[in-house]
Amino acid sequence: MTDQQEFPEDTSEYAETDNVEHHPTGKGLALPGQNLPDKVYIIPIHNRPFFPAQVLPVIVNEEPWAETLELVSQSDHHSLALFFMDTPQEDPRHFDTKALPEYGTLVKVHHASRENGKLQFVAQGLTRVRIKAWLKHHRPPYLVEVEYPHQPTEPTDEVKAYGMALINAIKELLPLNPLYSEELKNYLNRFSPNDPSPLTDFAAALTSATGSELQEVLDCVPMLKRMEKVLPMLRKEVEVARLQKEISAEVNRKIGEHQREFFLKEQLKVIQQELGLTKDDRSADIEQFEQRLTGKVLPPQAQKRIEEEMNKLSILETGSPEYAVTRNYLDWATSVPWGVYGEDKLDLKHARKVLDKHHAGLDDIKDRILEFLAVGAYKGEISGSIVLLVGPPGVGKTSVGKSIAETLGRPFYRFSVGGMRDEAEIKGHRRTYIGAQPGKLVHALKDVEVMNPVIMLDEIDKMGQSYQGDPASALLETLDPEQNVEFLDHYLDLRLDLSKVLFVCTANTLDSIPGPLLDRMEVIRLSGYITEEKVAIAKRHLWPKQLEKAGVSKGSLSISDNALKALIDGYAREAGVRQLEKNLGKLVRKAVMKLIDEPKAVIKLGPKDLEASLGRPVFRNEQVLSGIGVITGLAWTSMGGATLPIEATRIHTLNRGFKLTGQLGEVMKESAEIAYSYVSSNLKQFGGDPTFFDEAFVHLHVPEGATPKDGPSAGVTMASALLSLARNQPPKKGVAMTGELTLTGHVLPIGGVREKVIAARRQKIFELILPEANRGSFEELPDYLKEGITVHFAKRFADVAKVLF
């Protein structure tokens, strides 16, 4: 059943009520089959069909149906026919007679009334009706000649059985849907299985089926067929009602549980407060913050500010946004370990053990760290210092930082500043912003719970800049020992003393670090490892780590020293050990595949087993190029040191010219121009034909054109290649060199001596030419690197020429 509803213009509608009884024998009402008129007026309805078993109010628009109802009221029988139309006509004055269904319902009209442009009357359904002929169809009122379907009076047993099934289904529906009230139950009791037609129609009207489905029931005159249609519709309605009842019961149960829980919690709170067992949320928060501050030594400014915020918190409503902001601020301000310092372990022997345990090689780095600790031990405390570890990837910069923290017994906190573009990450957001937070340094102090941790800033050379500020400049105040005594975080707006923090920064190159920031740091270079060091690292650290990761015992799988050397030379020549670690992992995984098939096998890997697991070697022993105009230079990149051959040749003698190739940067192009000018102007002095370059078109090439090359250390090498070409004499074999040249022939110092010496050793070159100014850098190298190497130090280019020719 549906409640009375309003419909748009040009529609008519009826609503069903819950408390209307059907009185087939009421006074003055026509009985079905008796006194039924032959000619009746019709009104279309659009919500759903009207059934003979129904007594309901119907609402129609005054225009155009007022005249129709007027004529019905003047008739003797007071009846009209209601026909269902699925889609309302745009204009009821122009009526499409074909749009009407076969059957409608003859209804008796009672209590017609008029209000707000609408006509309302109670319609009592009498019987099915079919249009025989249209007497008036041009405009309302529509008059038709009708006939009534004949129905058998005696129901069969089958029809009775269906009638009982319908009554049972309706009785099932009543308790499930509270809309069907007590009156309906009485109404139902008057129906009889012996009078099946109104029962079937009433059952159909109860369902929420579509208008077209209900019209099919109305069109179905044969009793049994009609019952067969209606029973499934009614059963479906019962199922839907049952499901709805279950869902609403479940929802009510859940809501009830939550409400009960809520009331009990509120009661518990009130009881506990009355008994003095607990405090409300505000008091609990304030007590928690006060508890956090016990044992901490706050600067007067911080003490005053925190007390002000506590007072503010105590008068704010707990539900207000300002309360949440203040509470959040106090949460951070009281989490800072004000005046709490950890004790340093200043035992140098212990420190040496820790460093040796974690790192093979790196002796100069270890000595530098021990010196730093020794000063702290002598003074009795290690005040903040900024160490910058520079070196190629995979040489262990991050792990050196961890080792420093372990040797001192201080907590370690690491965060990467690579790609950071917002200075608020360092110094915090202002409190006015939604979701504001302190900077990373306050996060670090909260996590480590002391004011003197070791904080590592990783990838400091890869910081970005954006419209949100320049984080590198924000680090200046953080890292400057003169300023960081009073470091100001924007969120807390309180001065923090970072002077006792030991900052360790890491970078691959120094080029992209701003000068003022670099000036505040103490630079320690980690150059690449030579083969011997890599073998030691692989045996002591990397191989055991990979075995443990795969859960393989040392007895089942082992690798020989020769295999490690072959692996390093053929597959992992980079400066660090990351590639080496990846390849060892690959070997272990391949071995595990075999161990799954033969669990008791013992696998020993030798040099010959590498190709089967890792494929052909990536690196082969490079042929050191030699001949006229070919010189081996030494280069230094962010990935470590490398040899760099340079070739010069004369193309023709038709005109003077100079051509450069090999993807060179601006600095190297300038070095080449200087070398060309210097050698051209001083050729006679070095025993060449002074006119050689006047008519020669010379081409200078640096091989590996796909790799960009730049840097101020190739001038001497380029000049040597041009001189060899001009003298038509090959240089001395097995010599490599580095150095920058001026127009007057002076040899200038260069960087990366250690990396370049390692690169020469890797290529088995044992005679080097270095600038005189780099003599100190070479002599500081460890003995195992200098062993067996002959070095010539050159002040001017003439010293280079003497060695080569």
The torsion defined by the Cα of 557, 562, 567 and 568, in degrees rounded to 10, comes to 130
* Residue 393 assigned to a binding site: yes
Q: Rounded to whole angstroms, how far apart are CA atoms 257 and 701?
A: 83
Check if the beta carbon of residue 606 is closer than 8 Å to that of residue 424. no
Q: List all residues 6 or more positions away from 370 whose beta carbon is below 8 Å from its beta carbon.
A: 348, 351, 352, 355
Neighbours of 42 (CB within 10 A): 23
Only one residue has tokens 């100001």, namely 488
* Residue 225 assigned to a binding site: no
Q: What residue type is 143 in one-letter code?
A: L
- H or E segment and range at residue 668: helix 666-681
Check if the beta carbon of residue 62 is closer than 8 Å to that of residue 112. no
* Residue 657 assigned to a binding site: no
* Residue 294 assigned to a binding site: no
Biggest alpha carbon distance in the chain? 143
* Residue 26 assigned to a binding site: no
- Cα radius of gyration (the chain): 49
Check if the beta carbon of residue 389 is closer than 8 Å to that of residue 397. yes
* Residue 394 assigned to a binding site: yes
Check if the beta carbon of residue 81 is closer than 8 Å to that of residue 104. yes
| Three-state DSSP state, 75 | coil
Length of the chain: 805
Q: Rounded to whole angstroms, how far apart are CA atoms 58 and 12?
A: 8
Q: Rounded to whole angstroms, how far apart are CA atoms 796 and 779?
A: 20
CA proximity to 447, closest of 491, 413, 417: 413
Query: Sign of the C-alpha dihedral, residues 150, 156, 160, 161?
Result: negative
**Which tokens is 252 given?**
């009510």
* Residue 730 assigned to a binding site: no
- The set of catalytic residues is 713, 756
The torsion defined by the Cα of 140, 142, 143 and 148, in degrees rounded to 10, comes to -150
DSSP state of 772: G
- H or E segment and range at residue 445: helix 440-448
Check if the beta carbon of residue 558 is closer than 8 Å to that of residue 605. yes
* Residue 391 assigned to a binding site: yes
The annotated binding site for ATP is made up of 391-398
The annotated binding site is made up of 391-398
